[in-house]
Amino acid sequence: MDARDVIVAPRITEKSMAGALANQYTFSVHSHATKTQIRHAVEELFDVKVVGVNIIKMKPKPKRRGLIKGTRPGWKKAIVELRVGDRIEIFEGAQL
């Protein structure tokens, strides 16, 4: 898998921005990506050194609108911890 296929998008929320102050950045990743693939993809794309990777599988949620039932799809989230002094610039411009 290519590095651009592994990292789907950055997650910019209140909680992820609080983690960015502690050098922890949150990304949506491919559902079949492993910790090692995520580590290599972040290091390649952003030119930083990764210290640790935590993965969370977000379960699909049932949703309902009137009589119509459905589910929102599940996805995979990765929290990446960087070496002290390294930063990812796309998170620096986001203000919540």
The pLDDT confidence band at residue 93, using thresholds 50, 70 and 90, is low
Instruction: Please give the domain boundaries of the chain with CATH numbers for all domains.
Output: 3-83 (3.30.70.330)
The model's pTM: 0.86
pLDDT value at residue 1: 83
pLDDT value at residue 96: 53
CB-based burial, 35-57: b 16+ in 10 Å, e otherwise: eebbbebbbeebebebeebeeee
- pLDDT per position as a tens digit, 4-18: 999 999 999 999 888
